[in-house]
């Protein structure tokens, strides 16, 4: 074999080696991207708009789930004025992320997703404070059999905890909200002022007496 032939053979070999390295790197990158996408979808990790680095702390209920009435004359809130955090209390992976996507598609503002501290044996729980009552009632129309829980918080955001019985949002064309008709609460609900007054005047828990000093 002449020197020229040997040179051509070496150049082809080097070119094939470089191609093998390039293709190997590309395949490895695609594999990493696929694993990352699967992790995001299953709530193993959260990225982008749905990640604010938290699972919301368990809210402190002030009224033992006593239903609070919407403010008198309050109309449904525009979806794009309602901020929600979706928490997965179902025990199944990916539910919070999918629910957040569905709510965002309807125009709600999703602040983030995360895992609930405890499992919820129901469809969905909406946790809200004094400034989020109308928003919670508007959001409740998107779900079947939601539990509305009034908690101690000052902002107008609503936490959505998805439970084990959750089957998805109510169909958009089946949402029973009229922007010109005032919101109504369930039978037996109480005005927020009454609930806050009850919470303020509730007797404090009795202190446990200190144990007597041990005898020497």
Mean pLDDT by 10 residues, the chain (216 residues): 58 60 50 45 39 35 64 96 98 96 98 96 95 97 95 95 97 94 92 84 49 40
62 burial class (0-12, 13-18, 19+ CB within 10 angstroms)? buried
Query: What is the pTM (predicted TM-score) of this model?
Result: 0.65
Rounded CA gap, 147 and 196, in Å?
19
Q: Is residue 140 within 8 Å of residue 126, measured between CB atoms? A: yes
């Amino acid at each position: 074999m002449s020197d020229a032939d040997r040179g051509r053979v070496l150049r082809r070999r080097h070119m094939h080696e470089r191609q093998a390295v390039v293709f190997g790197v590309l395949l490895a990158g695609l594999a990493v991207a696929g694993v990352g996408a699967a992790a995001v979808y299953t709530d193993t990790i959260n990225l982008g708009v749905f990640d604010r680095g938290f699972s919301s702390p368990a809210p402190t209920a002030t009224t033992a789930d006593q239903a609070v009435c919407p403010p008198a004359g309050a109309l449904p809130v525009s979806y794009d004025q309602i901020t929600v955090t979706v928490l997965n209390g179902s025990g199944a992976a990916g539910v919070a992320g999918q629910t957040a996507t569905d709510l965002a598609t309807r125009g709600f503002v999703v602040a983030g997703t995360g895992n609930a501290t405890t499992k919820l044996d129901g469809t969905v729980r909406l946790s809200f404070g004094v400034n989020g009552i109308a928003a919670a009632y508007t959001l409740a129309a998107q779900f079947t059999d939601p539990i509305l829980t009034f908690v101690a918080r000052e902002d107008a955001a609503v936490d959505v905890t998805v439970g084990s019985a959750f089957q998805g949002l109510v169909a958009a064309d089946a949402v029973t909200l009229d922007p010109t008709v005032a919101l109504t609460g369930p039978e037996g609900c109480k005005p927020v002022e009454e609930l806050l007054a009850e919470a303020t005047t509730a007797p404090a828990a009795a202190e446990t007496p200190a144990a007597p000093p041990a005898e020497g």
